[in-house]
Structure 1
Amino acid sequence: MKHFAASAMIALLVIGLPLPGTAQVDPASVPEIKRSRLQLYLTAREAHDIYSREPARTLFLDVRTRAEAMYVGMPSDADALVPYVEHQELMTDWDDRRGMYQLMANSDFLTEAETRLKQKGLTKTDRVILICRSGDRSAHAADLLANAGYTRVYSVVDGFEGDTAKDGPKAGQRVVNGWKNAGLPWSYKLDKARMYFPR
C-alpha cells in the first residue's frame, strides 16, 4: 500500500498536478474578468504552497507594472517581474473607464517570459504561475502565454493585493483576500536581477 501511495504522489508531481491538500480554484467560481483560456487557477496561498514545494519546477512571475512592484511591494517567491502592461513613459493619457493613467501592452512580455523560463531550465510545458494585483491581468497574460504554446499557466485569482471589500468601513479597499492579506512573504526591497528593464 505504501508503494502505491508513493507511486501516486510521484505521478502527480510528474504530470504537474497539485499534491493532495492543495485544492485548486473551481473554474466555475471565477468571475468572467479573471477567466483564462486554460482555466487553471490558484489562490495566493495555493501558489505559495506549490512554489515552496517545487521552486525548481515552477516559474513564478509577477506581471504587474514596475511602479506597482516598487511602491506596493512584491512577493518574495516571485522569480521575476515581467509586466504584462506598463504605464506610458510620461503618463499623459487617461483611461476614463478605469479612472487611472492609461496602460499600454508591454511588447517585451513574451520575450521576457521566455528568457526567465530558460534561465530556470524550464520549457513551455512546465508550470508557470502568474500574479497581478487582483487576478484580471494575470488571466490575460495567461492567455497570451497559452497562445504562444505554454500549456500549464496558472493565474492567481486573488492577486497580490486582493479584491475590494464591497461594504463596511473598509469598502473599496483591497482587504478581502490576496497575497499580502494572507500574510505571505513579500517585500518592498527589490532585487535588480529579478526586475524588468525594457529592451
Structure 2
Amino acid sequence: MKHLKPKEAHEFLRAHPEAVFIDVRSEWEYLFVGHPKGALLIPWVDGPNWERNPEFVAHVKRATSIDRPVVLICRSGNRSRDAGKALEEAGFTKVYNVEHGFEGDLNEDHQRGKLNGWRFDGLPWEQC
C-alpha cells in the first residue's frame, strides 16, 4: 500500500481517471460531516454498533476490479489503512491510503481540521 498526502491523492486521482476513490467512513460521517467530491461510500466500520463491515471487500470488488487503482480515505487515515490491508490480502494490487484523511489529525486541543487533512488543504468536498 502506498500512502499519499491529501494534495498528492487529489493530483493522483486527476492524473488517473480510472482510479476508484472510496470513503470508508460511516454513512453518518459521509452525509453529515461531508465527503470528498467523487468519493464512493463503502464503510469499513459502521453503526449502530461500530462493527467492521463483513461485506467491505465484496462491495469494493463490485465497484472495481482488483487491478485498478483504489484510493481510500477516512477521517484521519487509520481506518482507511486497515481497509487497504484487507484489500491487499484479497488480491488488490494498487491500493493507496490518504494520510491524515478527510478531517485530519487531532491538535493539542483535541480538534480536527486544524492541522492537516483533505478539508484543511482546501480540496473539493461537499456535504449532503
Q: TM-score, normalised by structure 1?
A: 0.62
Task: Tell me which residue corresponds to 2:44.
Answer: 84
Q: Which structure has the larger Rg over C-alpha atoms?
A: 1
Between the aligned residues of both structures, percent identity stands at 39
Q: Give structure 1 stretches of 5+ with no counterpart.
A: 1-37, 89-101, 118-122, 190-199
SS in 2 for 1:68: helix
Aligned runs of 1:43-82 on 2, under 5 Å? 43-55=5-17, 57-78=18-39, 80-82=40-42
SS in 2 for 1:126: coil
1:98-147 superposed Cα distances (whole Å, 9 cap, x missing partner)? xxxx5101122111111111xxxxx3122110000000000000010001
Task: Tell me which residue corresponds to 1:136.
Answer: 78
Shift of 1:77: 2.8
Aligned length: 127
SS in 1 for 2:58: helix
SS in 1 for 2:7: helix
1:42-74 superposed Cα distances (whole Å, 9 cap, x missing partner)? 01111111111222x211100000000111001
Q: Distance in 1 between matches of 2:62 and 2:7?
A: 26
Task: Tell me which residue corresponds to 2:127.
Answer: 188
- The one-letter amino acid paired with 1:44 is P
SS in 2 for 1:149: coil
Q: Give structure 2 stretches of 5+ with no counterpart.
A: none
Runs of 4+ with >3 A deviation:
none
Q: TM-score, normalised by structure 2?
A: 0.94
1:63-92 superposed Cα distances (whole Å, 9 cap, x missing partner)? 0000001110010031x100001112xxxx
Q: Which has the higher helix share?
A: 1
Task: Identify which of structures 1 and 2 has the higher relative contact order when contacts are C-alpha pairs closer than 8 Å and 6+ apart.
Answer: 2
- The one-letter amino acid paired with 2:42 is V
